[in-house]
Structure formats: structure tokens, C-alpha cells
Amino acid sequence: MLIVLTGKTASGKDTILAKLSQKYPDLHNIVTTTSRKIREGEHDDLDYHFISREEFKKRVDRGDFVEFVEYGNNLYGTEKKELEATLNHNAIWKIDPSMAGKVREVIKDKKVLVIYITTSEEVILQRLQERNLTEDEIESRMADDEAFFQEFKDKYDYIIENVPGKLDETVDKIVKILESRAS
């Protein structure tokens, strides 16, 4: 099975992914590539493959990516080699909501489960401000989130709210979904 984790910017996807990886150590994490700067606490080749924008574009031109998108003035994508390494494993893939809405067009030979994570606008605004983004960047990300959600909401199997202070409950909901799908 391929579990696709997606959702609003700053909704807690990375934290949820880390918790799921702890609970399911055999679950292969598909590490995506980005041109954005590494943040405090992140690790190259674990959280993302961090590369320059120029290198990202070279890899796009070579056809190395199965999908990519520009979001928040940065490039994000999944290299074919990352995806191919998971073909015989259960895997989790954190990707952009627009690509998550189209994932079944890309992945045809694997059972796919798409989980969309959301949280309140107030929490997202606070988290994005803490990342020192400009007001224009924040507005752009929040507008993109809404547009992607409206366009692809029927493609997501589950929509789960990540309520601040209730991370374990959020993860438990996902675990129950995974366990029900495994049986």
C-alpha cells in the first residue's frame, strides 16, 4: 500500500509523518526533493533532499522527476528513483495537495490511500508567521491551499483535522484508518 499524506501548509504533516514512522518502522518514507532552504531541526536526505533551484531545474530537464510543483516560491518534487525504491514495500509519501489529487493517475500498480491533513486558519497563520514568511507569501500559500482543496477534495480518501494539542489523537485516527485498510 502507498499512503499519501498531504494537506494544508503548516498543518503538521511532517510531525504526523514522524509519528507514523515511529509506529511503523517498516513503512518506507519516500523522501521528496526541494529547492527551499533547510529549516532548523531538519536533516538533508531525511526530511527532504535539499538542492539548489538550479540543480532542481537540471533534474527536471533530465526527466528525473515523476512529479514536481512550484509552491511558495520553491520547487518540490519526487524523483523517480525514490518512488521506484518503494515498489515492493508499504510506503508513505508526503506530497503537495495538487499532486495528491492526481496520484492515482501516476501510480497505477499499487493500492493508494490519500489522507488530507487540515487545521484551523488561525493556527496556520501563526505557524507561517513563525517561519518568518512575508505577508504576501502567507497569503499566497493560504490561497493556494484553498484552491487545491476545492479542486481535489473529492480525490482525498480521508480529511483529518489536526487539532493543536491533540497530535496523538490525530495520529490515532490515521492508525485506525490504516489498520482497517490492512484487514
Query: Which residues does the annotation mark as catalytic?
Result: 39, 131, 141
With beta carbons less than 8 A apart as the criterion, state whether 7 and 149 touch. Answer: no
With beta carbons less than 8 A apart as the criterion, state whether 100 and 6 touch. Answer: yes
Cα(108)–Cα(110) distance, rounded to whole angstroms?
6
Residue 81: is it exposed, middle or buried by C-beta count within 10 angstroms (0-12/13-18/19+)? exposed
Cα-to-chain-centroid distance, residue 86: 16
With beta carbons less than 8 A apart as the criterion, state whether 76 and 32 touch. Answer: yes
Q: Is 165 left (phi over 0), alpha (psi -120 to 50) or beta?
A: left
Residue 165: is it exposed, middle or buried by C-beta count within 10 angstroms (0-12/13-18/19+)? exposed
C-alpha triplet 1, 151, 149: angle, nearest 5°: 70
